[in-house]
Amino acid sequence: MLKNFSKILSILLLVALLVPTASMALAQEAVACDEDYSVQADDWLSKLADKFYGDVLAYPAIFEATNAAAATDSSYATIANADLIEPGWKLCIPSAEDAQAMMGGATAAPAAEAAPAEAPAGGANYVLVPKNLGNPYFDGANVGAQAAAAELGVTVTYQGSATADATEQIQLLNSLIAQKVDGLAISANDSDALVPTGKAAIDAGIPVVTWDAAIAPGGRTVHINQATGEGIGRSQIALVSELIGGEGQIAILSATSTAPNQNEWIKWMNDELTKPEYANIELVATVYGDDDDEKSYNEALGLMKTYPDLKAIIAPTTVGIAASARAVQDQNMIGKVVVTGLGLPSQMRDYVKSGASPAFALWNPEDFGYLAIYTLHAIASGQIEGKPGDTFTAGKLGEYTIDENGELVLGLPFTFDASNIDNFKF
Ligand code: RAM
């Protein structure tokens, strides 16, 4: 809340300049509360005035009405300092008409007129952009994004292209920029090709948070990693080595050949394979299923045909791992070829139990979407600029700090196997 001090101070100054009689005009006696409001993390009074009245300058009406209500009902908060409100406090929200009267008629169009139709709560309108639609991983992220939107009183729409393709994604983003949305949270299909588009959004005042797959610096405000790329890459090799007893041929079945996140992880997998403990493991091929189920399935069949001695497929994509496990099962190759990589427990449960994929890893996609929206909102609402060292609170996930590269990390990946797979729903 204190981070907003200068913002509130300038609003106070504005109030003093524009509405000199505002505080004097405010009623000392109790005003009817049109509704009660429980303060959420990251609320401040002018933001609530915007939410209820479409006018940040109307915050003294909430301030005064709450203090007046507190005089006779101690369940309401007593607000000593207009720039300090705490989560859980009960506020009295007068009707738009009462607020206008309290402010000497100087402000506040009624909320119904002030708020855009698509954002009934008066909040911002953000867009969560996946690599492609119809990918359960991104659908999971959208569940978390919607939870964050509800907590923050903002609107998040979920819009993507049908295929995981950079050109299609750029077209979509151009149209969202033209619509002047309030912020973009993107999983990118190409790190460099999207830089001009990301920059155009930022130049138009639209913050760009990338998450899952990054736009290169210059085309984004902040990037959120699922875990460190190095940690993911190295741990994938450790996992496959354990599954095949440290020797044999392996292949990688990835997403698209331009996918920024998979390419980073594969780079670290190759690096890890140079260590002496993996001298008996041979990486024979890296192929691409484009995050398309059918293409991934056919690529997996192709690998088994081309390399009859293949011991494992690592698919660091939720689409690729599920398709590969199905291919192994359909070909009666369980016990001969193991599949591992990054998958969704809901899609992999049966393959863990059948032995097609005894173990794999992932983070929680719902948490990822939730963090993406909290990060975007922290920047779009001016709480932080999105610079290295900036710290903010992402609701239930707690505090995050942007590192020196303009990135943050969701958390640690988790390994799923038969001992725990039934505990997870996503
Ligand atoms: C796919 C996508 C996504 C990746 C996951 C692991 O769903 O390629 O970008 O993070 O797999």
Could you read off the pLDDT of 235-294 as tens digits, one per residue?
999 999 999 999 999 999 999 999 999 999 999 999 999 999 999 999 999 999 999 999
Ligand 1 midpoint to CA 387 (Å): 26
Ligand 1 midpoint to CA 397 (Å): 21
Q: Which residue has the higher pLDDT, 126 or 89?
A: 126
Using a 6 Å cutoff on CB, does residue 254 contact ligand 1? no
**Lookup result for tokens 């506020």:** 91
Token pair belonging to 122: 């008066």
Using a 6 Å cutoff on CB, does residue 213 contact ligand 1? yes
**Structure confidence at residue 121 (pLDDT):** 41
From 189, 190, 262, 409, give the residue whose CB has the most ligand 1 atoms within 8 Å, as the site to mutate.
Answer: 262
Using a 6 Å cutoff on CB, does residue 135 contact ligand 1? yes
Could you read off the pLDDT of 164-188 as tens digits, one per residue?
999 999 999 999 999 999 999 999 9
**Structure confidence at residue 104 (pLDDT):** 62
Q: Which domains does the chain have, with CATH numbers?
A: 2-104 (no CATH), 125-227+365-411 (3.40.50.2300), 229-362 (3.40.50.2300)
Could you read off the pLDDT of 308-334 as tens digits, one per residue?
999 999 999 999 999 999 999 999 999
Q: Which band of pLDDT confidence, cut at 50, 70 and 90, is reported for residue 57? A: low
In this structure, are strands 414-417 and 359-362 parallel, antiparallel, or unpaired? antiparallel
From 128, 137, 364, give the residue whose CB has the most ligand 1 atoms within 8 Å, as the site to mutate.
Answer: 137
Mean pLDDT over 338-344 rounds to 98
Say if residues 325 and 355 touch (Cβ distance below 8 Å).
Answer: no
Ligand 1 midpoint to CA 148 (Å): 21
Q: What is the mean pLDDT of the chain?
A: 87
Cβ neighbors of 103 (< 8 A, separation 6 or more) are: 19, 22, 25, 26, 57, 58, 60, 61
Using a 6 Å cutoff on CB, does residue 215 contact ligand 1? no
Which atom of ligand 1 is nearest the CA belonging to 131?
9
Residue having the nearest C-alpha atom to atom 5 of ligand 1: 317
**Structure confidence at residue 123 (pLDDT):** 83
